[in-house]
A = this chain, B = another copy of it.
Amino acid sequence: MKIGKATIPTSAICTSDDEHIVVRGHDLCADLIGRMSFSDYFWLLVTGQRPSAMASRVLDATLVAITEHGLVPSAQAARMTLAAAPDALQGAVAAGILGCGSVILGASETAGRLFLKIDALAREQGLSLTDAATQVVSDLRASKQAIPGYGHPQHKARDPRVARLFAVAAEAGSRGHFVALAEAVEQVLPAITGRDLRLNVSAAIPAVLLDVGFPAEALRGVPILARTAGLIGHLTEELSNPIGFALSYQATREQRYTGELPAGVTIKHAE
């Protein structure tokens, strides 16, 4: 069935024959394997260009920052899935990645789009970053939308990864424009929302990446790639230290059934 205008599929990423594999214009074997780090290669695949030394350093820092944060929900889902289906590592990784959604890790992209909107407004109307941030954040607030990338359930003071990412970006020579913009948002938030929401890692990541030229469309890919590495770490540990079912048991130890019981049936809760 033809959905949309049927076309010949085209792609600028890769071609190959018996002897050669060409990726983004380079010979994979002669030019890339052993000559480029995996994260630089990720940049090349996504953008078509090799990263600058500055971009390379910043991308690595963001990936390392977001890879691992303990037994978060996606790590739990992955470990429970491996416990139930130990033959299919790929399924357990997939189950974990499916938790990289709008609420948890997807904020890197939505925060990035928020920053681009504020930046565009500032440039179009000749506003300071603070004034542009005030206007955009107030609009979001008026329509009862969340402000992505600010506030953290555990790190009430600023998420410690934020300062470190900003420092790495500065050391690497980044201009810091979107970092300043992210901090402008942080400064105007308390007055607008009445809550002292501090920058978290999901806002710091797009700030430093946009500053080094990473494309906004691919921002959501950064936490997904990073978390995949973290999930593989957890799943490798699960093989020798299985806790998937223990997590599931603990999760429901205090659960309460709020429905009805059939006449004459009682449920013993010793479990």
Residues of A with Cβ closer than 8 Å to B?
1-4, 6-34, 36-39, 41-42, 45-46, 48, 57, 59-61, 63-65, 67-74, 76-77, 80-81, 83-95, 97-106, 153-157, 160-161, 163-165, 167-168, 171, 215, 217-218, 220-221, 224-226, 228-230, 232-237, 239-262, 265, 267-271
Contact = CB atoms under 8 A, between A and B. Distances in A.
A99 B71 contact: no
Given A69-B14, A243-B7, A265-B22, A221 B89 contact: yes
A85 B106 contact: yes
Contacts of A64: 28, 32-34, 36-38, 41
A60 B37 contact: yes
Max chain B Cβ within 10 angstroms of own Cβ: one of A14, A23, A165 = A14
A73 B83 contact: yes
B84 A80 contact: no
Contacts of A16: 1, 69-70, 154, 267
A213 to B, nearest CB: 14
Max chain B Cβ within 10 angstroms of own Cβ: one of A34, A157, A215 = A34
Contact of A101 (B20, B84, B157): B84
A5 B258 CA distance: 19
A117 to B, nearest CB: 17
A265 B27 contact: yes
State the 3 A-B residue pairs at the shortest beta-carbon distance, nearest first.
A85-B101, A45-B233, A34-B168
B252 A247 contact: yes
Max chain B Cβ within 10 angstroms of own Cβ: one of A33, A261, A270 = A33
22 contacts: A2-B154, A2-B245, A3-B249, A8-B246, A10-B243, A11-B256, A12-B259, A14-B71, A15-B257, A16-B154, A17-B271, A27-B265, A33-B165, A71-B255, A74-B81, A76-B251, A85-B88, A90-B100, A91-B91, A91-B94, A93-B221, A251-B251
A270 to B, nearest CB: 8
Contact of A26 (B6, B232, B258, B262): B262
